[in-house]
Amino acid sequence: MVQKNVRIRDVARQAGVSTATVSRALTTPDLLAEATRENVFAAIRATGYRVNKAARTLRTRQAGAVLVLVPNLGNPFFSRILAGISARLGDRDTSVLIADTMNRVATGKSLVDYFLDSQIDGMICLDGGLPENDLQQFRDNGLADRIVFACEWVQNTDLPSVRSDNIQGARLAVRHLYELGHRKIAHVTGPLDNVLTHARREGMLIERGRLELPARDEWIIRGDFSLESGREAAEEIIRMENRPTAVFCASDQVAFGLMSTLTARGLRVPEDISVIGFDDIELSDFYVPSLTTIRQDRHALGTRAASLLLECIDPQSTADGHRKTPVIVDVELIVRHSTAMA
């Protein structure tokens, strides 16, 4: 039976540890042995103990919450990253607030206000298009060290970031198509001003040059990571006199739009044109044909970004130097049915 008005000493008694150990499990669980940590959390569940967040905020001057900025909550790509962030911050009893940057202008609320109003301790940003005036406000208020970028990042800054190995992923994609015998390989990019677009295009160009593949300007088609841009790219390819035999898409969403339009126009995937994507969102395995793609470990992107932020906002942490070096998460080629021998 769950007790009323449970205190930290009741948890300590249930777990057979000191109150200091219980407090450490709630604030710095990584410092405890796994068995001890699990024992304490089991006692917390058994007793029904709840942290008094209001009291903790007054005592520690911490809000116990983190803001996560997402460029488009309707995009299924971000779900696993958010799950990873929530899982890691949940271990520290830290709440997660989520804001869609597509709708932020309508609210009229400045991002720095979340900090100044003591609503959050830090921020994880999945949007590399954060305006420079927002970044400057963080710098002016001494808050830049409480921001971590995940998946995307801002060029020419030393803000901490966790990102996939996008260049290597693009190289894996082109190499896979080459090994299947394809030499006429097109690429549908992401938005022109996006850091992922540039990284994946760079990887494609590196591998294309290394393999001495033929290059035509019309084989690089501008997209924007959306289904619609995949549809438009398919229409461009259909009109080409010198049509590619394979297409590397900068996202799975682009690949789905491309394949559906090619199929509707009478071209077969992969018999007529092979298609490979980037991301490995959940639909990739269920689409017909299932999509060959580059898998990003999105859950790891989330957990590692959350861990890095916790380190940044820890007042006792002194490890400043390595935070400026991007954390790179490995990618993996996932071969399914949308690619075949040329």
Query: What's the rounded Cα separation, in Å, for the pair 167 and 316?
Result: 35
Interval 120-172: pLDDT, tens? 889 999 999 888 888 888 888 888 889 999 999 998 888 899 999 999 999 99
pLDDT in tens, 172-221: 999 999 999 999 999 999 999 999 999 999 999 999 999 999 999 999 99
How far apart, in whole angstroms, are the C-alpha atoms of residue 320 and residue 159? 11
Query: Distance between CA atoms of 120 and 112, rounded to whole angstroms?
Result: 10
Q: How far apart are the C-alpha atoms of 146 and 121, rounded to whole Å?
A: 7
d(CA 262, CA 273): 9
How much is the mean pLDDT over the chain? 88
- pLDDT given for residue 315 in this prediction: 62
CATH 3.40.50.2300 given to domain 166-297: yes
Separation of alpha carbons 235 and 237, rounded Å? 5
Question: Is this structure's pTM higher than 0.95?
Answer: no
Distance CA 293, CA 287 (A): 12
Q: Give how far Cα 43 sits from Cα of 46, 53, 240, 301, Å.
A: 5, 19, 67, 30
CA atoms within 13 A on the CB side of 252: 23
The predicted-structure confidence for 30-89, as pLDDT tens digits, reads as follows 678 888 888 988 888 888 887 655 445 434 456 789 999 998 888 889 999 999 999 999
Instruction: Please say if the pLDDT value at position 261 is more than 90.
Output: yes
Where do the structural domains in the chain lie, given as residue ranges?
A: 8-51, 60-164+299-328, 166-297
As a CATH number, domain 8-51 is 1.10.260
Of 299 and 95, the structure prediction assigns the larger pLDDT to: 299
Q: Quick one: 60-164+299-328 is in which CATH superfamily?
A: Response regulator (3.40.50.2300)
Helices (H), the chain: 8-15, 19-27, 34-47, 53-60, 78-90, 104-107, 111-116, 132-140, 166-179, 195-210, 227-239, 252-264, 298-313
Q: Are 8-51 and 60-164+299-328 in the same CATH fold?
A: no
